[in-house]
Amino acid sequence: MGEQVEQSSMMLEDREQLLEMYNSIFDIIYNWIVVVDRQGIIRMINSRYCHFLGVEQQEAVGKHVTEIIENTRMHIVAQNGRREIGDIQQIKGNKMIADRIPIYQKGQLIGAVGTVIFKDVVELDAYVKRVGHMEKELDFYKKELKKALGTDNTFDNIIGTSQALQRAMNLAKRVASTKSNVLLLGESGTGKGLFASAIHNASPRSEYPLIKVNCAAIPSELLESELFGYEGGAFTGAKKGGKPGKFELAHKSSIFLDEIGDLPLNMQAKLLKVLQEKEIERVGGVKSQKVDIRIIAATNRNLEEMVKEKTFREDLYYRLNVINIRIPSLRERKEDIPMLADYLIRKTAKEMDRFVTEISPAAMRCLVEYQWPGNIRELENVIERAFNLVDKEAGITLKQLPTYLVAEQETEAVYAETSLKEAVEAVERKTISRCLNETMGNKYQTARLLGISRTSLYEKMEKYGIEVSK
Ligand SMILES: Nc1ncnc2c1ncn2[C@@H]1O[C@H](COP(=O)(O)OP(=O)(O)OP(=O)(O)O)[C@@H](O)[C@H]1O
């Protein structure tokens, strides 16, 4: 008996909770809703609808629906039990789309529920079109902005299958979705910027643009206002309304601090404060503001050494070094060079609107053997230069590669996999370059040393694209 009482009181409690929940939903729902009984008396009406009608909820409930809502047919539906969907109803000068649905309980008609979905059909239509158009436009500009900022790269743009690169990529992919700060280490031109974009674009923050700062490129006296922004009148020459800094712009996004090793000590302290307090204050400002940012830092310097030498703050180093990814140099992954060269040739051909797609085996061999101190950026430059020298739709050969690059190779290595003609040309090219170096660019002496006429030397220099540096 006691158990039964307990059970039914629990059921009652459940019902009350359920009712309370339905009431809340009814009230917060975006649509405007009214419920009438069979006599057309309003039993429920949500506050949004009341607000539009300009009546109080308590005032409306209990009144006949015709007293509260113009042109209503709710009392008719509550009588005849026939649903009306999509009826146009004029209320307070607005055209509304009204749905009126009879309510039955155990087969008995007990009233009706009515909803009004938007205040004006024409406006709704125009609104939907406008929003759709704006969304498309926004998407377009987001993409364009990313392209313009060079931040539209994803992991698909990182070329290379070598183990060394794949290891770095796998780690980067794993950490992309986390909130952790990332430190990218690697020589200049290895792709640190590319990795930073790819990590950001694979993260939940990718809706917002990646903000880039090259710490080495901004004069130290401007760095603070660049990073933190300033209030109007903060200093002479300050913009009237002030200017947001890069940290502020990176709110909810990621900030790429390139060349972090070049950040002066005073700015290191300020950056540390941002990381600890997650707040920034504009130069000349009085109040601080919260920022939610993820830091992706990069450097080609040895930060550990710098910490030892006390030129880089140890506490900042640990904060930034939560995850560090070392990007291998091109020398450490020579097997990626052919694939990279092909990719860059295709990319350059597209950018320059040219049909060059081929590279001779000797030229490719030369690229693979070279030491690439400037890494992929240097490879990009070499390919772009070759495009400027190559005949219209011909392929790239040794002739279009810079002398320093070809001269570095052992001639045997060059002609081991090439045609006799190319091998002869490679030897000629190399010999001429060497002689020109020896004679410090003196063409008369070079021609004599080589036993050829000066005209012939000029012709060959032009053929091989050899230039004498002044
Ligand atoms: N694995 C790769 N695949 C394709 N392109 C690459 C790759 N790595 C780098 N690049 C390209 O090489 C160029 C140099 O890369 P990036 O600027 O990212 O190097 P970095 O390490 O940031 O250089 P720095 O230290 O000088 O700023 C860029 O144009 C980039 O797109």
Write the ipTM: 0.97
Give the Cα separation of 211 and 430 in Å (integer). 46
Q: Which of 159, 162, 376 to mutate to test the pocket of ligand 1 (most atoms within 8 A of CB)?
A: 376
Q: Give the pLDDT of residue 4.
A: 62
**Which H or E element spans position 166?**
helix 163-176
Is the CB of 342 within 6 Å of ligand 1?
no
Please name every residue paired with 297 in a beta bridge, in sequence order, or none if there are none.
183, 257
How large is the average pLDDT for residues 146-155? 76
Q: Residue 353: is its pLDDT beyond 80?
A: yes
Instruction: Give me the residue label for tokens 């990073």.
Output: 227
Q: Which of 377, 380, 381 to mutate to test the pocket of ligand 1 (most atoms within 8 A of CB)?
A: 377
User: Which tokens in the block code for residue 210?
Assistant: 């990646």
Ligand 1 atom at minimum distance from 186 CA = 21
Query: What's the CA-to-centroid distance between 193 and ligand 1, angstroms?
Result: 6
Tens-digit pLDDT profile for residues 12-43: 667 777 778 787 887 777 778 999 999 999 99
Alpha helices (H) in 189-288, listed in sequence order:
192-201, 220-228, 246-249, 265-277
Query: What's the CA-to-centroid distance between 380 and ligand 1, angstroms?
Result: 9
Q: Band of the pLDDT at 94, cuts 50, 70, 90?
A: confident
Domains and CATH numbers, the chain: 15-119 (3.30.450.20), 150-328 (3.40.50.300), 331-464 (1.10.8.60)
Is the CB of 209 within 6 Å of ligand 1?
no
Tens-digit pLDDT profile for residues 260-280: 999 999 999 999 999 999 999
Tens-digit pLDDT profile for residues 36-54: 999 999 999 998 899 889 9
Average pLDDT value for the chain: 86
**Residue 290 Cα distances to 7, 249, 295, angstroms:** 51, 12, 15
108-116 vs 211-214, strand pairing mode:
unpaired
Give the Cα separation of 4 and 210 in Å (integer). 63
Is the CB of 436 within 6 Å of ligand 1?
no
Give the Cα separation of 444 and 452 in Å (integer). 10
Is the CB of 377 within 6 Å of ligand 1?
yes
Give the Cα separation of 360 and 357 in Å (integer). 10
Query: What's the CA-to-centroid distance between 312 and ligand 1, angstroms?
Result: 25
Query: What's the CA-to-centroid distance between 337 and ligand 1, angstroms?
Result: 14
Burial (CB count within 10 angstroms: exposed 0-12, middle 13-18, buried 19+), residue 161: exposed
Of residues 133 and 120, more confidence is placed in 133
Is the CB of 465 within 6 Å of ligand 1?
no
Could you tell me how far CA 236 lies from the centroid of its own chain? 35
Q: Residue 5: is its pLDDT beyond 70?
A: no
User: Which tokens in the block code for residue 20?
Assistant: 């309370």
For the CA atoms of 48, 55, 115, 102, the dihedral, rounded to the nearest 10 degrees, stands at 140
143: phi then psi, degrees, rounded to nearest 5: -65, -45
Q: Give the pLDDT of residue 469.
A: 59
Tens-digit pLDDT profile for residues 226-251: 999 988 766 666 666 788 999 999 99
DSSP structure class, residue 359: B
